[in-house]
Structure 1
């Protein structure tokens, strides 16, 4: 009888633990990140309106700050970020076929009127929208000198305004009802149980780790015989390693909240961050040389170690699995 009572108490407690965890993650991990993203994106629009020149330090600083906020939230690919392909409109990458520069070049060459307003630009292909398109406008030597300066200026301002509209809509949707849906599951809502909500958050952690290892590091690493340093994320703006660091720190916070601050998991993130910092290689140019390549691979291996720990140890403790990865594919 005593064993039965203990078992029942444990079963009853599980939803309470899950609900507390999801509420904490929503209030202290998700909402602050989307609030920061909306705020910094609005500041990017203000900076672009004030000075649209690609060499403007204020504009570049606003861009980097807003992009920092996106990277910190980029693993949260569910709910409001999925509506109307918002996440992809903000972040169309990898772009293995070079669609983004071609799309921007066509717009500039034709002086397409779609760039006259952010509302119209929302109908534009996602390849010409978002943070990666803005990087080309500000940092690519060809795009930033192409065509008429006044059109490039307007296009830069419109891309910034489009980013601001998307990020504001994401944050508004979280505030309006999505936070309530995920923290208070119901049979008529997006999540029927606390376990489903917790699984979504666990999947965000595993997907974020996979993307950082396989894509942010894997693409520039290529193979030993054929390294691809210019496939590194945002190498033009010199922030490839910065993206990895921000992502890891944000994922570490999520892992801490899911694992009740497990010291071993936390320390594993610290080791990866320390090794990344020691590279002193902002754009992973070192992948092209055997000795420095090994050091980049070591960072990737540490991240893969975290993935294994999360999948094999943390997942079973939470009673969830990684599930389908919505970021698979190009």
Structure 2
């Protein structure tokens, strides 16, 4: 989902194509490879036994593997990520679409390849989460329509993972690596490729602070824990940590120097998250629990600032620049 635009200026220092290579080789490509592997296990598990208790562990493992690359909105992920993780969903499109499919017993659930044509609200992790974790859906039997739907969504998720992996490892990685070369119309200079990856780091941290934490926090008078990401599967806090770790991993891959301030900022995020007792922020209605979530939100913002000062500034990128502007 798109984030608010932050005002800014930007100028880049010397080219650093080697650091783009490092980001691809150390973080991005291994991330998509691991995600495809875990998605394959999830699809195989669901095909063998569609019941929530069987699918749940493979679902969690696949979601863990997704998080290192979940916030990339670049190249094939610019649109490809949306049908893997359709969230936030404030209007409840996922619930409504799944309810309709089940009520009508739409035959698309028995066509895993054709399932790619279904609305993105009924695809990916959050559709699967609702079916296997929401009591309104999860009491289904083997051989039921919902069972078929779980199997189809898991298979479709695997297909999406394979497609993203292939697109990144093939054409788009080559496009990033050849930035500035004759014929590269996507990145006209080496600096543009570096900036494009750097913007993903800050956008991810903004998204985590404003959405993953901001939505369940709501306001003091009106906290909204029901809006937490992946609350049904109890992943809300975990996703915050994994997203922060992913941003740190990509940032340090771009840097070829020690980053002690950034490393310490990540440790602060991890420590703050460990103090939160409710895995889905369901206790933010309590003032003390809310305070702990706010401290975590501050730690995420501090990680962003550390990356700006320790990595971005060294590349000549002005702190506070528009993290949505990859051009």
TM-score (norm 1): 0.89
Following TM superposition, by how much is the alpha carbon of 1:147 offset from its aligned partner in structure 2, in angstroms? 9.7
Paired position in structure 1 for 2:193: 197
**1-structure distance, mates of 2:325, 2:149:** 30
Matched, 1:168 2:162: yes
**2-structure distance, mates of 1:40, 1:182:** 26
Paired position in structure 2 for 1:7: none
Paired position in structure 2 for 1:5: none
Matched, 1:124 2:114: no
**2-structure distance, mates of 1:74, 1:308:** 21
**2-structure distance, mates of 1:320, 1:52:** 49
Q: More helix per residue: 1 or 2? A: 1
Paired position in structure 2 for 1:325: 324
**1-structure distance, mates of 2:262, 2:323:** 23
Paired position in structure 1 for 2:20: 22
Matched, 1:135 2:132: no
Following TM superposition, by how much is the alpha carbon of 1:153 offset from its aligned partner in structure 2, in angstroms? 1.1
Cα shift readout 1:261-280 (whole Å, capped 9, x = no counterpart)? 31111111111111111223
Unmatched segments (≥5 aa) in structure 1: 1-12
Following TM superposition, by how much is the alpha carbon of 1:146 offset from its aligned partner in structure 2, in angstroms? 6.6
Paired position in structure 2 for 1:42: 40
Paired position in structure 2 for 1:183: 177
**2-structure distance, mates of 1:121, 1:261:** 46
**2-structure distance, mates of 1:323, 1:198:** 15
Following TM superposition, by how much is the alpha carbon of 1:312 offset from its aligned partner in structure 2, in angstroms? 5.1
The SS at the match of 1:42 is helix
The SS at the match of 1:235 is coil
**2-structure distance, mates of 1:105, 1:314:** 47
Following TM superposition, by how much is the alpha carbon of 1:258 offset from its aligned partner in structure 2, in angstroms? 2.7
CA distance 1:307–1:324, change in 2 (3 Å): closer
The SS at the match of 1:144 is coil
Paired position in structure 1 for 2:29: 31
Matched, 1:151 2:168: no
Paired position in structure 2 for 1:52: 50
Matched, 1:274 2:268: no
CA distance 1:215–1:171, change in 2 (3 Å): same
Deviates more, 1:19-28 or 1:260-269: 260-269
**1-structure distance, mates of 2:323, 2:89:** 22
* 2:251 pairs with one of 255, 259, 269: 255
Following TM superposition, by how much is the alpha carbon of 1:209 offset from its aligned partner in structure 2, in angstroms? 0.3
**2-structure distance, mates of 1:325, 1:149:** 45
Cα shift readout 1:85-125 (whole Å, capped 9, x = no counterpart)? 32110010000000101100100000001222122111111
Does 1 or 2 have the higher relative contact order (CA < 8 Å, sep 6+)? 2
Bigger Rg, which one: 1
Aligned length: 309
**1-structure distance, mates of 2:323, 2:260:** 28
Unmatched segments (≥5 aa) in structure 2: 1-12
Q: CA RMSD, aligned part only?
A: 1.9
* 2:206 pairs with one of 180, 203, 210: 210
**2-structure distance, mates of 1:26, 1:300:** 28
Contact kept? 1:108, 1:146, Cα under 8 Å? no
Contact kept? 1:181, 1:191, Cα under 8 Å? yes
Contact kept? 1:202, 1:320, Cα under 8 Å? no
TM-score (norm 2): 0.90
CA distance 1:326–1:196, change in 2 (3 Å): closer
CA distance 1:324–1:301, change in 2 (3 Å): closer
**2-structure distance, mates of 1:115, 1:228:** 33
Contact kept? 2:51, 2:140, Cα under 8 Å? no
